[in-house]
Structure 1
Amino acid sequence: MAQFETQHLIIRPLRPTDHDALQAMILEPQVVAYLRYRSIQTPAQFTEVFKTHFLADAKTVFGLERKSDQRLIGFYEFHDEANTGVLTYALSPSAWGHGYVAEAGQALMSYAFETLHYDQLEAHYASANPRSGRVMAKMGMQDFGEMDTFTLDNGELIHVMRYALSKKTWLGTKSA
Structure 2
Amino acid sequence: MIFDHQNKTITTKRLVLRLFQKSDAVAVTKLCNNYNIYKNTLYLPYPYAIEDALSWIEHHLGNFNANKSYEFAITNKESGELYGAIALSNNQKFNNGELAYWMGEEFWGNGYATEAAQAILKFAFDEKQYHKVFARYFNSNPASGRVLQKLGMKLEGILIDHVKKEKRYEDLVHYGIINSVEL
Give the match for residue 10 of structure 2: 4
| Contact 2:28 2:53 (C-alpha < 8 Å) held by counterparts | no
Determine if the alignment matches structure 1 residue 34 to structure 2 residue 34: no
- Higher mean Cα deviation, 40-49 or 59-68? 40-49
Query: Secondary structure, in 3 states, of the residue corresponding to 1:140?
Result: coil
Query: Secondary structure, in 3 states, of the residue corresponding to 1:106?
Result: helix
Using structure 2 for the length normalisation, give the TM-score.
0.82
d(CA) in 2 for partners of 1:141, 1:8 = 22
Shift of 1:68: 4.2
d(CA) in 2 for partners of 1:34, 1:4 = 26
| Contact 1:124 1:161 (C-alpha < 8 Å) held by counterparts | yes
d(CA) in 2 for partners of 1:65, 1:167 = 26
Equivalent residues in 2 for 1:80-99, closer than 5 Å: 80-81=90-91, 82-99=94-111
Shift of 1:45: 3.3
Give the match for residue 163 of structure 2: 150
Identical residues among aligned pairs (%)? 23
Shift of 1:57: 3.4
| Contact 1:126 1:160 (C-alpha < 8 Å) held by counterparts | yes
d(CA) in 1 for partners of 2:50, 2:17 = 25
Amino acid at match of 1:146: I
Give the match for residue 70 of structure 1: 80
Structure 2 portions without partners, runs of 5+: 1-6
Shift of 1:114: 2.4
Query: Secondary structure, in 3 states, of the residue corresponding to 1:31?
Result: helix
Deviations 1:56-94 (A, max 9, x none): 434611111112432011111011233211011011001
2:29 alignment partner, one of 23, 34, 38: 23
RMSD of the alignment, in Å? 2.1
Determine if the alignment matches structure 1 residue 116 to structure 2 residue 116: no
| Contact 1:40 1:46 (C-alpha < 8 Å) held by counterparts | no
Aligned residues: 169
- Higher mean Cα deviation, 83-92 or 42-51? 42-51
d(CA) in 1 for partners of 2:118, 2:75 = 16
Shift of 1:40: 6.0
Deviation above 4 Å: which 4+ runs of structure 1? none
d(CA) in 2 for partners of 1:94, 1:121 = 27
Higher helix share: 1
2:52 alignment partner, one of 18, 36, 45: 45
d(CA) in 2 for partners of 1:26, 1:7 = 25
Determine if the alignment matches structure 1 residue 129 to structure 2 residue 146: no
